[in-house]
A and B are shown apart, each in its own frame.
Chain A
Amino acid sequence: MASSVRIGNGQGFWGDSVDAPIRLLRGGPIDYITMDYLAEVTMSIMQRQKVRNPERGYATDFVRFVDEVFPEVSERGIRIVANAGGVNTQACRDRVLDAARRHGVKDMKIGTVAGDDILNRLQELRDAGEKFTNMETGEGLFDQEREILAANVYMPTDGVVQALDQGAQIVITGRCTDPGLVLAPILHEFKWKGYDAVALGTIAGHILECGAQATGGNFTRWWEVPHMADIGYPIAEVSADGGVVITKHEGRGGLVTVDTVSEQLLYEMGNPTNYITPDCVVDFTSIQIAQDGPNRVRVSGVRGAAPTETLKVSISYLAGYKAVGQLVVSGPDAHAKAKLCAEIVWDRLKMAGVTFDQTHQEFLGVGVVHEGIVAAPEQPPEVVLRLAVKDSNRAKVDRFGKEIAPLVTSGPPGVTGFAGGRPKPQEIVAYWPALMGRDRVTPEVSVVEVGS
């Protein structure tokens, strides 16, 4: 057993920098790289892909990543834990195996952890008494007809730990918690017992889970962060005796201080004394953080308790269509002209007999995101007019998209910036958070060897 390991997170969310994990891998000593590919909406996209092609439904970016780094990963013995499996961990694993063979890699084990995808089990679970009550609205999932696109359980970390215990150098999972990607290697390495220890590992994962947000990204005093272009992604240095230090590779940009780490600790926080994961419940009011040298922050004192009897389920369903279009309106009188443009669009659509479930207009540049907080400038040099509609009827949303460009020639002067074609209707994938009995799912762990 190593006395300490360095775990870095190279991918904070679906759509994060494609170069970040490579820089993390090549930028210095590292034992584990974790990667998060699954946003709430991602699962529904992947289910769709899988329906069209049974060989799809996972994060293809991940396969490209491992293909690029296989020689180093193999040589340096770096282990990778990624939730790249989406709704098709096996297909993802098979493509990774293909890549490994192409690189002539031998003796490497690849693990998969599934069991989180309950889309095809919803009826069975309903019959067993699960109501999937919406945690925010209190509605029952089955109260009305819905086109459900995906349903995945946030799985406890055990499955990933088992795969690592069985020697997998790369572990591909479906839905698990973001902090769990970091917690799993810690539990595998050190076999920590007790909920305080599990909570400490969870907090390390929580700090790392949004990538560069722990190392100076999105930091209030942005002007103090050196070389953001080459921002180092966060690394947790974890020792067997329970020490956790958050840091980054030396020589990279970014900043790891008590202030950058505190901001990330509070990110997406609800009730701080009751942070619930499938592995434990953490009390954030117990956490102590202290500077431990340049770009090193020590985390200690974390208290945890046993997890709840339920697991969180992330369900998504089709909730109609939306489209967003925008134009730039120059001054003088940019705001007044932009308001007229908006009126014209709505009037023309009304004249064409088209109305919507919901319309929305914004005048970016005169105080939208901080409406009511910051006074609007009297004469902004330009304003971005942003119009949006929502409706259950796709054709109506499509019709809206045709009404933006004509303004350039048939509205007030100085209207420009119409680029990228007509706004297209996009599906609205709505999110339905629910709880389900913990004992309804078991992780499906499989570990295979390259070449077998």
Chain B
Amino acid sequence: MKRIVLAEIAHARSGDKGDGSNVGLIAYSSRGYEILCSEVTAERVKEHFSSICRGKVIRYEVPNLLALNFILHDSLGGGGTESVITDAQGKTHAQGMLQMEIDVPDDFESKRPAAVRGTMQV
């Protein structure tokens, strides 16, 4: 097994959903989707966002888009217009999700360049 960040096998987008956020996580391949399904459980996501998400994490599967959809309840400091935190709409949660580390088989070839992890030059 080797350890990679999610950004090497998936892309993502997030936004607000009531007092929580949603993170749509999309695999680059069918094999990547299977890995997401087994590795990126609601429990792991809750742990990854433990300082941000104060409520439950719910996971939905969207296999036709090779995607998982996560709802991070109570993660916006009170929700939409009432919140005073910087990211009151969960816009950055997708980028946070993609930094999660998971184990993949040694022969798994990640599709994406290393640029996924802060190697972009200014």
Find out whether the CB atom of A373 lies under 8 angstroms from the CB atom of B81. Answer: no
Find out whether the CB atom of B24 lies under 8 angstroms from the CB atom of A263. Answer: yes
Task: From known contacts A223-B120, A287-B64, A362-B85, infer whether A268 and B80 are also in contact, taking CB-CB under 8 Å.
Answer: no
Q: Which of B35-43, B47-55, B102-110 contacts A (4 or more CB under 8 A)?
A: B47-55
Find out whether the CB atom of A270 lies under 8 angstroms from the CB atom of B17. Answer: yes
Task: From known contacts A371-B51, A373-B48, infer whether A262 and B26 are also in contact, taking CB-CB under 8 Å.
Answer: yes
Q: Which residue of B lies closest to A287 (CB)?
A: B64
Q: Which residue of A lies closest to B94 (CB)?
A: A220
CA distance A264 to B16 in the complex (A): 13
B13 at the interface (CB under 8 A from A): yes
Q: Which residue of B lies closest to A136 (CB)?
A: B18
Minimum Cβ distance to chain A for residue B26 (Å): 5
Find out whether the CB atom of B85 lies under 8 angstroms from the CB atom of A289. Answer: no
Find out whether the CB atom of B67 lies under 8 angstroms from the CB atom of A262. Answer: yes
Find out whether the CB atom of B96 lies under 8 angstroms from the CB atom of A428. Answer: no
Q: Which residue of A lies closest to B52 (CB)?
A: A371
B64-85: CB near A (< 8 Å → 1, else 0) gives 1101010100000101111011
Q: Which residue of A lies closest to B91 (CB)?
A: A218
The interface residues of chain A lying within 8 Å CB-to-CB of B26 are 259, 262-263, 266
Q: Which of A338-391 contact B (CB under 8 A)?
A: 358, 360, 362, 364, 368-374, 386, 388-390
Task: From known contacts A223-B120, A369-B86, A370-B92, infer whether A266 and B62 are also in contact, taking CB-CB under 8 Å.
Answer: yes
**How many residues of A sit at the interface, in one of the four size bands?**
35 or more
Minimum Cβ distance to chain A for residue B56 (Å): 13
The interface residues of chain B lying within 8 Å CB-to-CB of A289 are 65
The interface residues of chain A lying within 8 Å CB-to-CB of B67 are 262, 266
Minimum Cβ distance to chain B for residue A109 (Å): 36
Q: Which residue of A lies closest to B85 (CB)?
A: A360
CA distance A269 to B61 in the complex (A): 12
Find out whether the CB atom of B84 lies under 8 angstroms from the CB atom of A373. Answer: no
The interface residues of chain A lying within 8 Å CB-to-CB of B82 are 319, 390, 428, 430-431
A41 at the interface (CB under 8 A from B): yes
Q: Which residue of A lies closest to B50 (CB)?
A: A372
The interface residues of chain A lying within 8 Å CB-to-CB of B71 are 270
Q: Which of A220, A266, A370 is the most central at the interface, judged by chain B CB atoms within 10 Å of its CB? A: A266
Find out whether the CB atom of A267 lies under 8 angstroms from the CB atom of B15. Answer: yes
B57 at the interface (CB under 8 A from A): no
Q: Which residue of B lies closest to A370 (CB)?
A: B96
Q: Which of A391-434 contact B (CB under 8 A)?
A: 428-431, 433
A264-287: CB near B (< 8 Å → 1, else 0) gives 111111111100000000001111
Find out whether the CB atom of B79 lies under 8 angstroms from the CB atom of A431. Answer: yes
The interface residues of chain A lying within 8 Å CB-to-CB of B64 are 285-288, 301
CA distance A442 to B18 in the complex (A): 27
The interface residues of chain A lying within 8 Å CB-to-CB of B69 are 266, 269-270, 272
Known pairs A265-B24, A266-B24, A370-B96 / 16 extra A-B pairs, C-beta < 8 Å? A136-B79, A220-B11, A266-B22, A266-B65, A268-B22, A270-B71, A284-B62, A285-B64, A287-B65, A316-B81, A368-B87, A369-B86, A369-B96, A372-B50, A373-B99, A374-B99
- Can you identify 14 A-B contacts, CB atoms within 8 angstroms? A135-B18, A213-B13, A220-B95, A223-B120, A262-B26, A266-B65, A266-B67, A266-B69, A268-B17, A270-B22, A272-B62, A364-B86, A370-B52, A371-B51
